[in-house]
Structures are given as structure tokens and as C-alpha cells.
Amino acid sequence: MKTKFSYFFILLIIIPALSFSAVRIKDISNFRGARDNQLFGIGLVTGLSGTGDSGSVTSEMISNMLVNFNIYLDSQVKTKNSAIVMIFADIPPFYKEGMRLDVTVAAIGDSQSLENGYLVQTPLYGADNRVYAVAQGNVLTGGANVRTTSNLQNRYKVVGYISEGAIIEREIPASIVKDNTVTIYLKQPDVTTASRVSSAINSTFSFKIAQATDPSSIRIEVPEFFEDDIISFLALIEEIEVVPDAKAKIVINEKTGTIVLGGNVEMDDFSVSYGNFNISIENQKINGKPATVSTLIAALKSAGATPQDIIAIIQNASSYIYAELVVM
């Protein structure tokens, strides 16, 4: 009996490891200091065919812009061909002056559509209230070919996109090396993955330079040989392959009836009755197959269960499923 238990325990350890492929450290982590920064601004989209804002704020904004060109009007411009918008962009690390960014444009007021509009030059600010980029260009809207309700169509048309619509005017400083060390942050914090990354780095360089300080952070000392060539050292770190680990997880979207799960999520023996369905799992088998959530879903679908039935049964049996259940 003791031998059988030990063999089963070893299988539990080996099978998950074999179910994941080795990936580069570059694909599962980021260097500390190398992060995106969000930019925002408030601007004006013109050239709309009567689908712009109806309020007076837009007219006041147009009048103020004309003053900058020494054009003074006795009365406000009344037009529905313009709309006040918010502009958003993410500036990646190490981007320099003159490089371009994609921007998203969203209507603030009661504009019906930004389709075929043009964004007037707008400064984009960072969290420190400094200008880092300037945006301008034709606004592209999606949803034109989406066959759905009119409300959804309008929702698409009041949010637009300008490809490479912003030019960077100021670089955001970024520093990766601090006190001769580099720290990488896992995108998905995990104790096992952090330990594996640390071990893989140490094995590659044949001596201990990396140490996992918590489930998301691995601190790496820069070897003396690479002190004058940090980029080459970082490139070597990025290319090291590891086998990441992750918790088994089931994500359920009740609204759309979607179930997303990774790998073969196993289940314990249980019995549940739901409507016309009676489910019983014995000896961790379903119809002679291993008791996994995938097998259960396939059996329920063949029995005529709807997505809502399957979701309800999985939720009721969550105590017997070896995975984290996330309901959206």
C-alpha cells in the first residue's frame, strides 16, 4: 500500500510539469524599471457630419482655439460637426523623442459618432502633469460591419483609434540596473515559477547570481564580466528557458455561457442531481475515462445539457474540483 501511494504521488508531480512547455523568461516577466506609462489628454474632433456634441462647451472650446490664431468672434460657433474627446495612450519604456504611439479617442459629451472625424493637435500628459506626446490625425471607428443592435453600433462609433497618431516629445527616464543588481517581476506571481526561474539562471551561469525574494520577484546580481555590457547580460537572461507553473483555474462567464480552463483539471468522486441530470463519479472515472472537467463537460453536452446547465453543475460541484473557480 505504501509503494502504491508513493507512485501515485510522483505522478501528480511529474504530469503537471510535462503538461507545460518551456518558455523564455522574456515571455513571462518584465525587468524592474521597464514599464509602460499611461498618457491622457482632452481634445477636439472636427469634421463630423452633424453627429457631434450639441452642448455649448464644444462651441466655447472652438472659440478659445480660434483666439490662439488671433480670430475673435462676436458670438459662439454653433455646430454639431465637432466633439470633445478624451485621448489615451500607453508609452512603452525606452521610447525616444520622435517615435510614434497608437492612441484611443473616446467621446465625452452626447456625440452620436466620431466616424470620419479628425483629431486636432492635442498634448498628452503623464501622471506628473507634464506633456510627453502630442496627438493628431484621422479617427477610425470600429463596428461598421457588426450586425447587432443599434445601441451597440453607436457605442462602437463614439470610441475611435488613431494608428501611430501621437509623436513622443519627451522621453520618460527608465533605469533597470540598481546597485549592480537587476530585478525581474513575473507577470503571474507564483512561488514554484519564481524558484524555477532563479534555478535556471544560476544553472546557466554556473554560479549563484539569482535569488527569488518573493513569488513575483527574482533579484539578479550583475557579474563583473558584464558590468560594461549590461544589454548583452539582459539578453542572455531573457533567452533562458523555464517551465512555468500555475494554479489550475476554471473561468466561467455566466452572461455568455463561456467556460475556459487550462489543461486536464481533475475531479474527486461525487454525485449531484440537477434538473433531469444525475451525475455520479466513482473511482475518478466518467464513462470509463479519467474524471476531468473536460470529460464532464463532454459527457453533459452529449446528454443534451445547455451551457447554463453545465455552468450550474460545475458551480455546484466546485468543492470536488481541484481548481480555482472564477465566475464572471
**Does one domain contain both 42 and 163?**
yes
pLDDT value at residue 73: 66
**Does one domain contain both 155 and 182?**
no
Mean pLDDT over all residues of the chain? 81
Is position 44 within any domain?
A: yes
Is position 216 within any domain?
A: yes
* Phi-psi sector, 317: left (phi>0), alpha (psi -120 to 50), beta: alpha
Q: Return the amino acid letter for 97.
A: E
Is position 4 within any domain?
A: no
All cell numbers assigned to 207: 554560479
**Does one domain contain both 158 and 44?**
yes
Domain that holds residue 108: 37-168
All cell numbers assigned to 146: 457588426
pTM of the model: 0.66
Distance (Å) of CA 31 to CA 36, 194, 195, 246: 11, 14, 17, 20
Lowest mean per-residue pLDDT among 25-39, 108-122, 192-206, 282-296: 282-296
Show which of 168, 201, 233 is a domain's final residue: 168
Distance (Å) of CA 155 to CA 88, 115, 151, 152, 254: 17, 12, 6, 5, 23
**Does one domain contain both 92 and 182?**
no
**Does one domain contain both 66 and 98?**
yes
| CB of 274 closer than 8 Å to CB of 305 | no
**Does one domain contain both 132 and 62?**
yes
**Does one domain contain both 100 and 179?**
no
State the number of CA atoms in the 13 A half-sphere of 271 facing the CB.
Answer: 3
How many Å apart are CA 114 and CA 111, to the nearest integer? Answer: 7
Looking at the predicted structure, is the pLDDT value of residue 162 above 80? yes
Looking at the predicted structure, is the pLDDT value of residue 313 above 90? no
Distance (Å) of CA 77 to CA 46, 69, 108, 122: 13, 15, 19, 20
Distance (Å) of CA 9 to CA 6, 16, 72, 198, 290: 5, 12, 82, 25, 17
**Does one domain contain both 138 and 153?**
yes
Cα Rg for the chain, rounded, in angstroms?
28
All cell numbers assigned to 193: 515559477
**Does one domain contain both 45 and 156?**
yes
Domains identified in the chain, total number = 3
For 55, residues 6+ apart whose C-beta sits below 8 A from its C-beta are 109, 110
pLDDT value at residue 173: 85
All cell numbers assigned to 45: 474632433
pLDDT in tens, 163-192: 999 999 999 888 888 889 999 999 989 999
pLDDT value at residue 120: 92
Looking at the predicted structure, is the pLDDT value of residue 323 above 50? yes
Helix axes 293-302, 307-316, angle to 10 degrees: 140
**Does one domain contain both 52 and 88?**
yes
Q: Confidence class of residue 20 from pLDDT cuts 50, 70 and 90?
A: low
How many Å apart are CA 189 and CA 30, to the nearest integer? Answer: 12
- Of 117, 63, 112, give the one whose Cα is nearest residue 87: 117
| CB of 193 closer than 8 Å to CB of 244 | yes
Structure-model confidence comparison of residues 146 and 284, the more confident one: 284
**Does one domain contain both 87 and 139?**
yes
How many Å apart are CA 125 and CA 129, to the nearest integer? Answer: 5
Numbers of helices and strands, H then E, in the chain: 8, 20
Is position 190 within any domain?
A: yes
Structure-model confidence comparison of residues 250 and 162, the more confident one: 162
pLDDT value at residue 74: 65
Q: Confidence class of residue 81 from pLDDT cuts 50, 70 and 90?
A: confident
Q: What is the mean pLDDT of residues 202-224?
A: 93
Is position 253 within any domain?
A: yes
Which position has the grid cell 483609434?
A: 161
Instruction: Tell me the CATH number at 22.
Output: 3.90.1150
pLDDT in tens, 107-156: 998 888 898 899 999 999 999 999 999 999 999 986 544 444 444 444 46
Show which of 242, 273, 293 is a domain's final residue: 242
Looking at the predicted structure, is the pLDDT value of residue 84 above 70? yes
Helical residues (DSSP H) of the chain, grouped into ranges: 2-19, 25-28, 56-67, 150-157, 191-205, 230-239, 293-302, 307-316
Show which of 242, 259, 284 is a domain's final residue: 242
**Does one domain contain both 159 and 65?**
yes
